[in-house]
Amino acid sequence: MVELLLLLLLLLLPFLLYMAAPQIRKMLSSGVCTSTVQLPGKVVVVTGANTGIGKETAKELAQRGARVYLACRDVEKGELVAKEIQTTTGNQQVLVRKLDLSDTKSIRAFAKGFLAEEKHLHILINNAGVMMCPYSKTADGFEMHIGVNHLGHFLLTHLLLEKLKESAPSRIVNVSSLAHHLGRIHFHNLQGEKFYNAGLAYCHSKLANILFTQELARRLKGSGVTTYSVHPGTVQSELVRHSSFMRWMWWLFSFFIKTPQQGAQTSLHCALTEGLEILSGNHFSDCHVTWVLPNKLVMRHSKAAVTSSCDLAGPHQWTKQAVASWTQEKTAADYTVTSCQSDSSSSGFPNL
């Protein structure tokens, strides 16, 4: 009798999970952006906006009246999405521009074109990313995860930073991940040439997003530009396209995974919610500030930590005096790459 009941329970389990899935998904995606802020006259850039979270983020911002730039590698796909958003929202100010974050020439070309085209930039959402790629390098020789997820957005942000300051109050939202807890910045192996694990490479890049956000907030204090990092949750998107195992896991647990619209809520919360300025530099999940794992690793290459991303951004961004004061502070955020002076010989990054 007991065996029969157990067998019946096992047979019913998939059906019970299916029936419970909407409530479980709702529980796992409790954060919802409740801001009613409208955005007429505001200018927004969303990277990776032709699919997934980026698409839903762009759609909501367009719905609120913003002039939205879809910064996409695949322009043809981006144009289709732009037309869809225009039709859905009635907002014709949805524009597509080419941006390949794996190529600094493309990043600079995008920034140059945008700065010539627009007088303002009120919201920059660094959303695009790659996950669990087979080992490969960007056009400039960077390991793909750190190159696209962090360094590409690092350069884009700095190229647009003066425009953000001129448009203040303005905001920068960096899409990170819960996976940052497993991340470490290995300066002796930034390009993954000594050892490489696709999953960990993704984690390292997501940690860099958070550290970059923290340092930006510190440096931009008082400028009117605030910055936030977000964990969107586990979302049904194209991000897992490089991993058969992850695609299988996403399919297996698809009933419990957030939709792209649900995944966009925390990005929207940080971009729109009034009174959030005092929380600049914080990390958010489900529309609430969340805990970030402190980086307590002993870093021996402090100069490389300071200069590595700056070789990408260029020496004109920060002064040598800022660099000198920065190297004396040794806070956790030091271990991303923020102050700029050119010293490619010590950074381990190729010249650009």
- The neighbouring-strand residues paired with 133 are none
Amino acid at 308: S
Count of CB atoms situated within 10 Å of the CB of 242: 17
Residue with tokens 């000594």: 194
202 is catalytic: yes
Is the separation of the CB atoms in 122 and 90 below 8 Å?
no
| CA separation for the pair 79, 58 (Å, rounded) | 13
Through-space distance between the first and last CA atoms of the chain, rounded to whole angstroms: 73
Is the separation of the CB atoms in 160 and 121 below 8 Å?
yes
Is the separation of the CB atoms in 57 and 124 below 8 Å?
no
**219: which 2 tokens?**
């440096």
Burial label, 322 (beta-carbon count in 10 A; 0-12, 13-18, 19+): middle
Is the separation of the CB atoms in 90 and 9 below 8 Å?
no
Catalytic residue among 18, 69, 135, 202: 202
E-state strands within the chain:
43-47, 67-72, 94-98, 123-126, 170-175, 225-231, 283-285, 288-289
The catalytic site residues sit at 202
